[in-house]
Amino acid sequence: MRYAERGYNLEIDLSRGGIERVETDPRLMELYLGGQGTAAKLLWDRVPPEAEPFSPENLLIFSSGLFNGTPVPAATRTSVNTFSPQTSLMAHSLMGSYFGVEMKHAGYDKIVIRGKSPDLVYLWINNGKVEIRDATHLRGKGTQETAALIKEELHDAKVQVAAIGPAGENRVYMASIDHSHASAARGPGPVMGDKGLKAIAVRGTQDIHTARPAELFEICLRLSKELYDNPNVGDWMATDEDDSFHHDNFSWGNARTRRKDFWSKELQGRWTRLKYDHMDRQTGCYNCPKKCHNVISWPGRQRFSYKCYGKDTYHMAAYQELDFSYDILGVAQELGLDSYSTPQVIAFALELLEAGILTDQDFPGMPSDVRKRYFYLLDKITRREGIGDILANGVSWAARQIGKGAEKYDHNTVKKFEQLPIKLGKVNPPYFLMIATGEKMSITQIEGSFPQDPLPTMEQRQEFVKNWAAVPHEKFKEWFLRWEKRNEISNEASCAITDWNEAMHYIDDSLGLCGFVSSFRGQFGGKTGYHVWNIPQLISLSTGLDFDKDKLWKTFQRIRTLVRAVNVRRGLRRRDERPPEDHWAVRNEATEQKLLGDYYEFKGWNSDGIPTKETLDQLGLNYVSDDFIKRGILTGNGGAPSRETSKEKGEQIESRGA
Amino acid sequence: MKSGLKTKIVKDIRVDVDKCTGCRSCEMACSAFHAVPKYSSLNPARSRIRVIMDETKDIYVPIRAGEYTQAECTGRNLYTINGKEYTECSFCPSSCPSRDYFKEPDSGLPLKCDMCEDEPSLVEPMCVQACQQDALIYIEREEVVDEQKKDVKLDDMEIVFDALVKKHGKKRVLDTFARLSKR
């Protein structure tokens, strides 16, 4: 019997209509855990590096995390991995709620989709019975509407649905896959659309087993209570109405303006009333004691939910207030658009209009009211109509296609991906490393274990480190105690901090643990629900494998290095690892490049960011080093970058300005 | 206390649908507790508590499995509470042909909540322990019962007839008995 995992993947070939249940190698769990870890292995093994993201060879992989469906609380994340058309690199995408758990109860650790369907279809997985069904009647339908229609059609309200909206169907790069109150962004939405797959509906009624169930259950019941009681985990914004942090520190518009005195008591009172006057309830994901989703009913709109900073992105991009976000979020979620990148793309377009690079002719019939403009552009982008067809490729590609100096306004992307709109004064060295080298694309998916800023007094620092159980090594406490100015921290500490921050995300994303109770939440208060000291026991009890902290750490290194290898084989190099030029006002190229070099060395990568043969072999990734040598990558040959995409599948657009 | 009256302990679970977050920890925990051996498997489909959910309508109602019933209701009520429309089934605990709640997924046999009766007994049923939101609260209360109304012990024959009456109704059983007795 297989414990924690089910031991089978569901393989779907949409070109041929093939459906296969394939047993997996049990050793892969020990090496890569599950979730994104084992997904990275599949992408390495099965997608040749020259395969375009929009090609039948590209895989779209839905993975349950290793802990999904076990009693481990807050193990709610399903990962969706593929190669992103925006970055050409491995897309990192996660969603919460129920999907991965249901998949596992249906009998599958992963749903692996290849090929392309000639017509729009959806997948209906009912335990061992799997059908590829016609979805042409769902074309153009919203994400929640699609889920409701499918449940009705299947006469089962317990079916879990993950669907794309019209944005995904039209291969908009910012398209998300939506499920329940969760949404998987950063790449897989347009690939799902390209494959002609509107939705996956899954229903499972099979047992999940763990190796030492009674002991595990008892520990998990206690953990669940601890997570509930712990104010440092979950979404602080669900209960704390003071959101001065984002509004006073993040940049508004096209990552342009800081409004340091925006927040006020009066505003807080007004927005709190607005929230509670329209909030139905707060919901949680499967077997999680926190409640991070704020479910909002806004007059005349579809009920929607948001969490964390997702509440702020639209009104901050448009220099509006919370009511605007409430008005637009439900619409955007039905269209299936990511709320982090989409507002930035729209703010970028409107800035180009103001600058005269785009003109009124590019926006025929656009209203003058800024709020209405956002709705207008949501529609154009979703339908890839006119300027929307270019904007649908995200800021970085759109800037190149528009030309005429538009490139200068693309000032907030790394690896062609929109970053959070943060523009600060002096460089925070670990943040430099995370933004430069992170392959999960958004800083929220990389930062989180070590605090963002030093605490002002020694007493506060001592208080912070006193019960800091999560640190993998005592040296982190020393570094934190000695840290006084944000920009003054040694390269040695910066490398180790970045490594630890990454470690927790790579572990979470393979186990299906939510960052809000683990990787993301150590930075505020230090007391996370999960860390390298308690996770190994949970792995051991659930899987029956012997795990300890060192073995877990090595597993993280293996998965992280494999993800880097997957991307290196597709052309990722040191030249791509640059934070936006204006991310900090004060820069020093020499010290930054020294830091980057030190980090590569720390990681066991060469000066171009490629893992060395020694590093690879030591982690058991000999098949990677063999491949790198065969391809000449370890001698420094590059790979192919991705190209732009238009509405017509496969067609390339010439850059407008070139 | 008046002679002939005594008290008994009634176990209640108070359900606050406003506090339910839809996390379904109760389902997970129930299925683990009732697995054989205990905790050996997890499967909400085997749970004796289910959260009846409709996210699009903001409906979250945890219900516990009650009696098995052979037939579904002929007519059902729709309830509007605070502007939200619930079906009667949203609150109904029966294992019933109209839906697949509270049936063993493999055999289809009905499931029934037993309040986690166990030796040694639990402090609270497992679903309540798993619910951190206090949407489920366990209470024991005393209820006064009339001791005079003694439980009637049925003999074997009566058990057979009782079952027949339950299944076919008193009239059909009487008619059949009358017909048989004329043979």
- Could you report the predicted ipTM of this complex, rounded to two decimals? 0.93
Residue A648: per-residue pLDDT: 47
Question: Does residue B133 sit in the same domain as residue B159?
Answer: no
pLDDT category at B43 given cuts 50, 70, 90 is: very high
Q: Is B3 inside a domain boundary?
A: no
Is B114 in a helix, a strand, or coil?
A: coil
Residues from chain A that touch B25, judged by Cβ atoms under 8 A, are 73, 224, 287-289
Contact A213 B43 (CB under 8 A): no
d(CA A70, CA A462): 37
Give the tens place of pLDDT for each residue, A235-254: 988 889 999 999 999 999 99
Tell whether B73 is covered by a domain.
yes
A207 inside 8 A of chain B by CB: yes
Region A424-609: CATH code: 1.10.599
Integer Cα distance of A27 and A620 in angstroms: 12
Q: Rounded to whole angstroms, what are the CA distances from B153 to A471, B67, B159, B169? A: 66, 21, 10, 21
Residues B100 and B159 reside in one and the same domain? no
Q: Does residue B98 lie in a domain region?
A: yes
Same domain, B172 and B97: no
Same domain for B32 and B101: yes
Q: How far is A335 from chain B (nearest CA, A)?
A: 16
The CA-based angle B166-B168-B169, given to 5 degrees, is 70
The CATH classification number of A8-203 equals 3.60.9.10
Residues contacting residue A649 through CB under 8 Å, at least 6 positions apart: A54, A171, A194
**Is B42 in the A-facing interface, judged by CB distances under 8 Å?**
yes
Q: Convert A496-550 into a string of H (helix), E (strand) and C (coil).
A: HHHHHHHHHHHHHHHHCCCHHHCCCCCCCCCCCCCCCCCHHHHHHHHHCCCCCHH
Q: Which residues of chain A have pLDDT under 50?
A: 636-645, 648-658
B158 and B103 housed in the same domain:
no
Cβ pair A332, A172 in contact under 8 A: no
**C-alpha angle with apex A54: A634 to A122, nearest 5 degrees?**
130
> Around Cβ B37, how many Cβ atoms within 10 Å?
8
Q: B87 and B121, same structural domain?
A: yes
The verdict on pTM exceeding 0.90 is yes
Residue of B nearest to A228 (CA): B132
| Cβ of residue A214 closer than 8 Å to a chain B Cβ | yes
Give the count of beta carbons closer than 10 Å to the beta carbon of residue A446: 25
B45:A224 CB<8 A = no
Shared domain for B57 and B16, answered yes or no, is: yes
Domain total in chain B? 2
C-alpha span between B174 and A272 (Å, rounded): 68
Residue B27 and residue A98 in contact, taking contact as beta carbons nearer than 8 Å: no
Q: How far apart are CA A244 and CA A306, in angstroms?
A: 18
Q: What is the pLDDT of residues B109-126, one digit of tens each?
A: 999 999 999 988 899 999
Any CB–CB contact under 8 A between A292 and chain B?
Answer: no
Nearest to A314 by CA among A275, A340, A333, A337: A340
Q: Are A166 and A243 in contact (CB under 8 A)?
A: no
The predicted pLDDT at position B162 comes to 83
Cβ(A563)–Cβ(A459) below 8 Å: no
Is the same domain home to B112 and B176? no
Range of the domain at B168: 152-183
Distant-in-sequence contacts of B143-151, Cβ < 8 A, 24+ apart: B143/B7, B143/B8, B143/B9, B143/B10, B144/B5, B144/B6, B144/B7, B145/B5, B145/B6, B145/B7, B145/B8, B146/B4, B146/B5, B147/B4, B147/B5, B147/B6, B148/B4
Chain B contact for A149, CB < 8 A?
no
B170 and B114 together in one domain? no
Whether residue B164 sits in one domain with residue B128? no
Beta-carbon separation of B21 and A284 below 8 A: yes
User: Which residues of chain A neighbour B59 with C-beta distances below 8 Å?
Assistant: none
**Residue of A466, A463, A450, A459 lying closest to A524 (CA atoms):** A450
User: Where are the domains positioned within chain A?
Assistant: 8-203, 236-417, 424-609
B107 to chain A, closest Cα gap in Å: 12
B chain contacts of residue A144, beta-carbon cutoff 8 Å: 56
**Is residue B102 domain-resident?**
yes
- What pLDDT does residue B158 have? 83
Q: Which residues of A touch B18 (CB under 8 A)?
A: 281
CA pair distance A207, A225, nearest whole angstrom: 25
Among A102, A146, A158, the strongest candidate for a mutation testing the B interface, having the largest count of B CBs within 10 A, is: A158
Give CA–CA dist A313/A421, Å, rounded.
9
Q: Do both B46 and B65 map to the same domain?
A: yes
Which of A68, A155, A286, A334 best probes binding to B when mutated, by most B CB atoms within 10 angstroms?
Answer: A286
What is the 8-class DSSP label of residue B75? S
The reply to whether B43 touches chain A by the CB within 8 Å rule is yes
Contact B41 A98 (CB under 8 A): no
The residue among A514, A136, A122, A151 whose CA lies nearest residue B57 is A151
Residue among A209, A287, A303 whose CB faces B23 most closely: A287
Average per-residue pLDDT for chain B: 91
Q: Which CATH number fits domain A236-417: 1.10.580.10, 3.40.50.920, 1.10.569.10, 3.90.1150.10?
A: 1.10.569.10
CA dihedral (A82, A187, A198, A310) in degrees, to 10, reads: 140
3-state secondary structure of B136: strand
Out of B37, B56, B130, closest to residue A224 by CB: B130
Which amino acid is present at B87? Answer: T
Contact criterion met (CB below 8 Å) for A248 and A263: yes
If you search the block for the tokens 């090496």, which residue do you land on? A31
Are the Cβ atoms of B40 and A281 closer than 8 angstroms?
A: no
Interface check for B49 against chain A (CB to CB < 8 A): the answer is: no
Residue range B2-27, pLDDT digits in tens: 566 788 999 999 999 999 999 999 99
The total number of residues shown for chain B amounts to 183
Residues B91 and B174 grouped into a single domain: no
pLDDT at A637: 40
In this structure, are strands A584-586 and A424-426 parallel, antiparallel, or unpaired? parallel
